Structure 1
Amino acid sequence: MNTAKNNRGPGEASSDLVASTSNNNEHKIDNIENDMKRAAARKLIERYFYQLTEGCGNPTCSNKNCASSGELKPMTPNDAAGHALQLFKEDARLCERHPSKIARTQSNKLDNDLIKNTNGTINTVPLSNSVSEDSEQLNKSVKPNHASVPSFLTEQTLYEIIDECEANDSYSPLIRTLGEIFSSIENLSKSFLEESSTASNTPNLESTESFKGLKKEEVRYLEGEKDKDEDSSADSSKNKLLPVDLSSLRRAYAALFKLKATIFENALVNALVTLAGNLQMELPMRREKDSYDDILNVLLIVFEIPSLGSGDFLETALPAICRASQSLPVEVQASLATAWSGRGRGAIRNILENLQQLITLRVIVTPFHRDFCVQDENVVTSATKLMKILYYANMLAGVLESPTLRNIDDMNDSIDESFLMVKLNKAITPQDPLATHLGVHILDCRKPFLPFSDFYNELLSDTVEMDRDFANFKSELGIFSGKFSFMNYPFILTPATKTMGLYFDNRIRMYSERRISILQAVTGQPSNPYLRLKVRRDNIIDDALVELEMISMENPNDLKKQLVVEFEGEQGIDEGGVSKEFFQLVVEEIFNPDYAMFTLQSETQTVWFNPTSFESTAQFTLIGIVLGLAIYNNIILAVNFPMVLYRKLMGRRGSFEDLQDWNPVLYNSLKQMLEYNDPDIDDVFTQTFRISYQDVFGSVIHYDLKERGDKIIVTQENKYEFVDLYADFLLNKSVEKQFKAFYKGFQMVVDESPLEQLFRPEEIELLICGSKNFDFDELENSTEYDGGYTSESQIIKDFWSVVHSFSMEDKQKLLQFTTGSDRVPIGGLSRLKLVIAKNGPDSDRLPTAHTCFNVLLLPEYSSKEKLKDRLIKAINYSKGFGML
């Protein structure tokens, strides 16, 4: 041995010594870590025990697991010990500001530590003197030495700092601690972690007597260790931080913010600003393989701060954090969204409100102009980017359906070539990287955690100059210029504002088609810069559909030209008003029961495809074109489809939940079947896998959902399969031919539009059908006057008095008379911009209107009674364009 040592060089001997020492140290460290975990577990169990037996001292305590609440029955020490262990496993609530408890000595009333044995019975295990001494040492050590600030915070440590500050009437230790912890990524990321990771500052407890009698699984649970089959993977991630204990964090914040804000607010705000600066420097330096667990923990802790949306936090700290967060990689964004959608879902509303307040504040105080618009305001844009993470968290926290319902590839089976070309030529909607990473889509969300409308910011929507935003949107899609566009974050814009973005996109495409037509004329080719339809009122369907069919067959791109309608034998020039009436008349005819292309659902008064219609698929294609043209030309239609149609138009198959607004009676009966859990379901419902429905002649048609369906009884085991197959048949298979043709026509018009990117199905319904809010006070407030009239003119006062006294039917007729449509546009009647102009002195003439420009020409009638009489006659006999 000596010879061997002498033959080695100094470096080798030194290496052996270092290796040996290192191995010994690692072994000791592992033992120390395990003992620390046991100590922390024991300490928490003791706290639960004293909470159950003695309470927290708060006479108004609401914690049902606290003796001070008055809800607990007196417990024996044995019962309390067993219940304390159960509360520990459940991570139950601990009362705030609970005084620190230490293990009792022999003179204490508790002489035994009670733990379940392997048989599940309660055994008493005496506490040794060494355990008592170590427990006392533990409790002394966790009290911070304020001469040196702790390197991280726990709930208990914060309580003790606050207690000491209050006792000494000096809050310097608290201020120093908040400043040190909340300004450092490293310190804050290690704070408020799950309990098994917060014991790194507790001493080694050599005795493990208190864990005698525990089951093997319970010991592992208390130590925070994984099963043996997971040990190898655990070794490879020793440096991985455990997640934040959000329950503990919220209790700690509640205790902190019970203090006067003036005590610590400035210190915390300044620390957060420093933290944000550190994040901005740190994030760009991280490489792909680097861990971001510390960043994730930091953001989770920061956004739980209760007052983040008020005072200096709102004006200084939150903007800084938002700016720093906009550099987060997609993977970290996804992790943050997942965390907020899980244990952190309770904070979603508060975080959203804070971000909305920040955006609103910045919009109010910033003087925007053409050279500096809202898209250039970094705080607004960074907060919007952060809100997108919350938007997806809100979906994940809600009710999601299977993404397989998004797959509509089966529509491509046996479809005609022209439809396939429409699908292939359709501009691919860019996928959001975050949505792709999370594997979620807006269509998957049946019910979000918070309503989607909570994400609208109306003030921002009214401030955004959509022409500029649309230019940024197209630029960003083209060459990734880096210009910010809210159209890439449509969840924050109201439907009315998004409609303007869609309008710009449609108009630009119309002008592009017009320029192409003009260039063709220069080269001697026939030129037609508009989509012209000439129809007869008494034969409007045949005329319109024949012309549209010819156009769609010869050159489908002509459908993207601006629509111009001419009624044969009438003088009206279409500046928009004639088209409105054209669409209204076409819709009235198409959905007429005599055509039998659609059926009326009596319960909901909605229309649906007739599965037994004799009309050709070409007819349904042309109806789809009409619907697309209405959107493309910014015209509202009086149609009443169920919501499932708009979901299907956006690429999602109908499912059981869609039956709720399609046929509520059927939905409720099927739901009763699903909720029925008794074994006699086959006798109660007597249902097989064969269903029946009627054709247009009232004849009953049978359909087997499965082969030999009439022989298969619906049971508890197959009832969910039955319901899914039933809904799939009603909403998909039975109308597959009709909907496929309808979808083809619709896509011929809107295939290049950002419609799907901007709007959810509910918003598309609003886009097509308009709002249902007939608020004529809004219309009065937004109306302008011309020709000598003002809002103070007596006839104007009389006019509004008469209008407000109208029935809803007459109000709709007035809208039809003045605007060409009886529907309310998205955003309400204030969006109509009605103009009432003077049309001469008192006379017997009826009022007239320029529906293309929403102008009402009103003579200055001599009395209110005469005004009402002439107005009622005008709105009831207003069809035709012979007078204008």
Structure 2
Amino acid sequence: MSSSDNSAADEASSNKEASPCPQVIHTEEGDMKRAAAKKLIERYFYQLTEGCGNPNCTNKDCASSGQFNPMNPNDAAGHALKLFSKDAKLCERHPSKIARIYCGCSKDKFSAPEEPICSVVSNDNVVSQTSVPTHLTEEALYDIIDECESNETYSPLIRTLGEVFSSIENLSKSFSQEPFSATSTPNSENPEKLQCLNKEQLRHLEGEKDKDEDSCAETSKTSIRPVDLPAVRRAYTALFKLKTSIFENAMVNALVTLAGNLQMELPIRKEKDSHDDIVNVLLIVFEIPALGSGDFLETALPAICRAAQWLPVEVQATLATSWAGPGRSSIRNILENLQQLITLRVIVTPFHREFFIQDENVITSATQVMKVLYYANVLAGVLESPALRNMDDMNDSMDESFLAVKLNKSVAPVDSLAQTLGVHILDCRKPFLPYSEFYNEPLSDMVEMDRDFANFKSEFGIFSGKFSFMNYPFILTPATKTMGLYFDNRIRMYSERRISILQAVTGQPSNPYLRLKVRRENIIDDALVELEMIAMENPNDLKKQLVVEFEGEQGIDEGGVSKEFFQLVIEEIFNPDYAMFTVQSETQMMWFNPTSFESTAQFNLIGIVLGLAIYNNIILAVNFPMVLYRKLMGRKGSFEDLLDWNPVLYNSLKQLLEYTEPDLEEVFLQTFRISYKDVFGSVINYDLKEKGDKIPVTQENKYEFVDLYADFLLNKSVEKQFKAFYKGFQMVVDESPLDQLFRPEEIELLICGSKNFDFDELENSTEYDGGYTNDSQVIKDFWSVVHALSTEDKRKLLQFTTGSDRVPIGGLSRLKLVIAKNGQDSDRLPTAHTCFNVLLLPEYSSKEKLKDRLVKAINYSKGFGML
């Protein structure tokens, strides 16, 4: 059987029509073995392409019949599967029509003997018989390449690649770390097992034959050895020094055949079956250097990804572990290949209202493979102890009423792959590759998040059969994930609004919004008192849409009033006069004051404010260290978190750890007693261990000292304040998919906004109305003035036009600023609708006048009026 024919025969298993095949094996022919099923399908394929050899054949599904319409190999492969599922008539084969192979050195076809033979014509025109190996080693590949180059024919190489890379069994044994046992080598003295290891003729399907084959398959599975990945890479380096055109077609066809075999094999394997061969196959395939280019990218890689989506979670975990260990140097190359495949399909596929990006099987299957690589990237990075996860401790601190509310909420599904690996994203201090390299921007821009969110929230989630990229958030940019969070929050707001309306119908008092009425000069007391009452009476009211009203002002809150409300609250909360937070002088980072006199209720309410900001899609001007966001996600602070919060202390402790001389005790003069200052500047001593002032820090206990020191500063000393803060935060976001979609650094971006202060982006995304265009002279003058402003004045301009001086996640292009004409030249100042990001700009007669009016407007405007 030719390599190309075999490819066509098995290719159908990578199509949607292949799915019935595993079911037929179980339901219609329960006793039929997998090997026999495959051979039967191949017989149907030969019947459709070659015929039975009987010129008087009356079978309409046989090429020898006069009623038969010729088929190409691909159509024949698909039709062979259908005939197999229907248990259709199978002709008796003509004696001459036995299983055949194709030798790359000529177009002739040869009968398949017990061992594949390839005819090679040497320079002396003497025909020699060269045995084709059933599996490859590094040395064997070198020998074949040398032989081909010396004979000036690459037929043996082409034939070998086709034979090895099209077979799960052959490829899984290739490039093994250890030699195979005698029972599985080509030189074995046991002919029965030797025949099972090689591809046989299609001639019989007797039960005893199947039994022998299954017995042999079990023997071969036990002989699978781990792949020697360095040898694989060296072998590929030698192979791809040749012109790719020599072997590309044969290798691509073989990989498509291999993918078909995988897609047929994986769904019918039992859980107890060994999958070492599958892992070996995938490790070898994904090492191919050219997998992300040419026909490999367009044909082979999609087929492999479609097959890999059938991998059981245990096999995914094994594959991830292998990539994280000896395969880690290939993580970047594999990721780039998958990214290229996804990007290519996003660009070339004509999506429409009946066919969305979530329906494109190549994209979704490649994303599933990327998830395995994502966890490999985590495992290959710097991991911390799982003991630092503290969700149980946090839940223990909640009062019974709050826990009762949480028990009624939907629980996020457990990531089965992470659970099998025993790892959590929060365990990874530093991944092998930056997380940002897993973002795919073309895909993120193309995803329609309304549909994706609907799939994500479908009744049975991932088990509904509906694909959602929100279940694979590593591939989405933070800006796109924010849209998913926005939909979730808005739907919850509308749900609370409907409940309020129903209550009103039944005569109960109701309020569809979370209304806060505050005085600008007394904003903290007014806001916190109202929020405290709401949190005590009905925490679910916090999930209603926020509407803020400043007493004595006419502004109607469509978003802009809320933005200023949060900004003013944050300014007051972090006022040093309250002494609820301390500021690190080197980094200007805010942290909980362990000696604060404020009650836990105050910290609880600050957590509510932070949660409300996320829930209402408002960016805050806060400057917390990253450890706060890690703690909000359920991870305790540790030594490495000190770098971001207090780099001076971190470097001092690091010097202690790196000091290796035996006189550490005399040099550092440090004991297990530490000191810190309270709000009045008084020094407070604290023993990290009992009688800590009597225990010197030595080479033996220095790591314990550093861990205890960091644990005290980041966890124990602020435990009361943080637990209250965390409780308030969870009152708002407990039902949100926040922790499913975002990592700690993305949470910071969500709360604080982007640091990319690029006004060129804002200019390019701005729209014009009322008669202005980007060619209007006043618009040209406006941007000339704006680009010349200081950074501080640019922030004031953002505050004036949008109600916030922060850059939204995704950059300034996300603001969608609108500049509208507001009459002819006059002495009026520019005005703005902050709720809708609209700047009303008169058509000033000169650039100087425009600058003067604009600067005055952004510096002296405060409060809201009816515009």
For residues 507 and 785 of structure 1, the distance between their equivalents in structure 2, rounded to whole angstroms, comes to 28
Letter in 2 for 1:435: A
For residues 202 and 490 of structure 1, the distance between their equivalents in structure 2, rounded to whole angstroms, comes to 47
Which of 452, 459, 463 aligns to 2:435? It is: 452
Which of 762, 773, 776 aligns to 1:779? It is: 762
Letter in 2 for 1:742: F
Q: Deviations over 1:575-597 (max 9, x none)?
A: 00000000000000000000100
Displacement after TM superposition at 1:740 (Å):
0.4
Change beyond 3 A, Cα 1:667–1:427: farther
Comparing 414-423 and 401-410, the one that deviates more: 414-423
Which of 727, 739, 742 aligns to 2:725? It is: 742
Q: Deviations over 1:685-717 (max 9, x none)?
A: 111111110000011111111111111111111
Unaligned runs of 5+ in 1: 1-144, 206-234
Q: Which residue of 2 aligns with 1:600?
A: 583
SS in 2 for 1:196: coil
Letter in 2 for 1:690: R
For residues 335 and 707 of structure 1, the distance between their equivalents in structure 2, rounded to whole angstroms, comes to 45
Q: Which residue of 1 aligns with 2:694?
A: 711
Q: Which residue of 1 aligns with 2:659?
A: 676
Q: Which residue of 2 aligns with 1:828?
A: 811
CA contact under 8 A between 2:547 and 2:557: conserved in structure 1? yes
CA contact under 8 A between 2:178 and 2:225: conserved in structure 1? no
Displacement after TM superposition at 1:679 (Å):
1.1
For residues 460 and 846 of structure 1, the distance between their equivalents in structure 2, rounded to whole angstroms, comes to 43
Q: Which residue of 1 aligns with 2:305?
A: 322
Q: Which residue of 2 aligns with 1:192?
A: 175
For residues 202 and 284 of structure 1, the distance between their equivalents in structure 2, rounded to whole angstroms, comes to 30
The reply on whether 1:267 has 2:246 as its aligned counterpart is: no
CA contact under 8 A between 1:395 and 1:449: conserved in structure 2? yes
SS in 1 for 2:531: helix
Q: Which residue of 2 aligns with 1:487?
A: 470
For residues 420 and 300 of structure 1, the distance between their equivalents in structure 2, rounded to whole angstroms, comes to 46
Change beyond 3 A, Cα 1:240–1:734: farther
CA contact under 8 A between 2:592 and 2:722: conserved in structure 1? yes
The reply on whether 1:409 has 2:409 as its aligned counterpart is: no
Displacement after TM superposition at 1:489 (Å):
0.1
Displacement after TM superposition at 1:418 (Å):
3.8
Which of 156, 159, 164 aligns to 1:176? It is: 159
Displacement after TM superposition at 1:748 (Å):
0.2
Which of 760, 766, 773 aligns to 1:790? It is: 773
CA contact under 8 A between 2:398 and 2:727: conserved in structure 1? no
Q: Deviations over 1:719-775 (max 9, x none)?
A: 111111110100000000000000000000000000000000000000000001010
Letter in 2 for 1:552: A
Matches within 5 A, 1:610-625: 610-625=593-608
Matches within 5 A, 1:747-758: 747-758=730-741
Displacement after TM superposition at 1:428 (Å):
2.2
Q: Which residue of 2 aligns with 1:276?
A: 259
SS in 1 for 2:609: helix
SS in 1 for 2:760: helix
SS in 2 for 1:821: coil
Q: Deviations over 1:817-873 (max 9, x none)?
A: 000000000100000000000000000000000000000000000000000000000
Displacement after TM superposition at 1:408 (Å):
3.6
CA contact under 8 A between 2:221 and 2:274: conserved in structure 1? no
Letter in 2 for 1:561: K
For residues 146 and 462 of structure 2, the distance between their equivalents in structure 1, rounded to whole angstroms, comes to 59
The reply on whether 1:249 has 2:240 as its aligned counterpart is: no
For residues 708 and 410 of structure 1, the distance between their equivalents in structure 2, rounded to whole angstroms, comes to 27
For residues 743 and 237 of structure 1, the distance between their equivalents in structure 2, rounded to whole angstroms, comes to 56
CA contact under 8 A between 1:179 and 1:268: conserved in structure 2? yes
For residues 367 and 699 of structure 2, the distance between their equivalents in structure 1, rounded to whole angstroms, comes to 47
For residues 392 and 585 of structure 1, the distance between their equivalents in structure 2, rounded to whole angstroms, comes to 42
Displacement after TM superposition at 1:201 (Å):
4.9
For residues 366 and 720 of structure 2, the distance between their equivalents in structure 1, rounded to whole angstroms, comes to 46
Matches within 5 A, 1:449-848: 449-475=432-458, 477-478=460-461, 480-848=463-831
Q: Which residue of 1 aligns with 2:850?
A: 867
SS in 2 for 1:251: helix
CA contact under 8 A between 2:180 and 2:223: conserved in structure 1? no
Structure 2 length-normalised TM: 0.81
Comparing 248-257 and 412-421, the one that deviates more: 412-421
Displacement after TM superposition at 1:879 (Å):
1.0
For residues 476 and 314 of structure 1, the distance between their equivalents in structure 2, rounded to whole angstroms, comes to 36
Letter in 1 for 2:376: A
CA contact under 8 A between 1:422 and 1:748: conserved in structure 2? no
Matches within 5 A, 1:207-222: none
CA contact under 8 A between 1:692 and 1:702: conserved in structure 2? yes
CA contact under 8 A between 1:154 and 1:198: conserved in structure 2? no
For residues 687 and 647 of structure 1, the distance between their equivalents in structure 2, rounded to whole angstroms, comes to 30
Q: Which residue of 1 aligns with 2:53?
A: none
CA contact under 8 A between 2:816 and 2:837: conserved in structure 1? yes
Matches within 5 A, 1:69-88: none
Matched length: 712
CA contact under 8 A between 1:842 and 1:862: conserved in structure 2? yes
For residues 535 and 490 of structure 1, the distance between their equivalents in structure 2, rounded to whole angstroms, comes to 39
Displacement after TM superposition at 1:284 (Å):
1.0
Displacement after TM superposition at 1:238 (Å):
8.2
Q: Which residue of 1 aligns with 2:202?
A: none
Displacement after TM superposition at 1:240 (Å):
4.1
For residues 719 and 129 of structure 2, the distance between their equivalents in structure 1, rounded to whole angstroms, comes to 73
For residues 388 and 167 of structure 1, the distance between their equivalents in structure 2, rounded to whole angstroms, comes to 44
Letter in 2 for 1:764: I
CA contact under 8 A between 1:422 and 1:747: conserved in structure 2? no
Letter in 2 for 1:264: F
Structure 1 length-normalised TM: 0.79
Change beyond 3 A, Cα 1:426–1:612: farther
Which of 355, 359, 364 aligns to 1:376? It is: 359
CA contact under 8 A between 1:408 and 1:653: conserved in structure 2? no
Change beyond 3 A, Cα 1:689–1:517: same
Q: Deviations over 1:452-471 (max 9, x none)?
A: 00000000000000000000
Q: Which residue of 2 aligns with 1:298?
A: 281
Q: Which residue of 2 aligns with 1:45?
A: none
Q: Which residue of 1 aligns with 2:31?
A: none
For residues 413 and 465 of structure 1, the distance between their equivalents in structure 2, rounded to whole angstroms, comes to 40
For residues 753 and 192 of structure 1, the distance between their equivalents in structure 2, rounded to whole angstroms, comes to 48
Displacement after TM superposition at 1:203 (Å):
6.8
SS in 1 for 2:222: coil
Comparing 470-479 and 609-618, the one that deviates more: 470-479
CA contact under 8 A between 2:513 and 2:546: conserved in structure 1? yes
Q: Which residue of 2 aligns with 1:26?
A: none
Displacement after TM superposition at 1:662 (Å):
1.0
CA contact under 8 A between 1:778 and 1:828: conserved in structure 2? yes
Letter in 1 for 2:821: K
The reply on whether 1:438 has 2:415 as its aligned counterpart is: no
CA contact under 8 A between 2:440 and 2:476: conserved in structure 1? yes
Q: Which residue of 2 aligns with 1:103?
A: none
For residues 193 and 816 of structure 1, the distance between their equivalents in structure 2, rounded to whole angstroms, comes to 64
Displacement after TM superposition at 1:239 (Å):
1.3
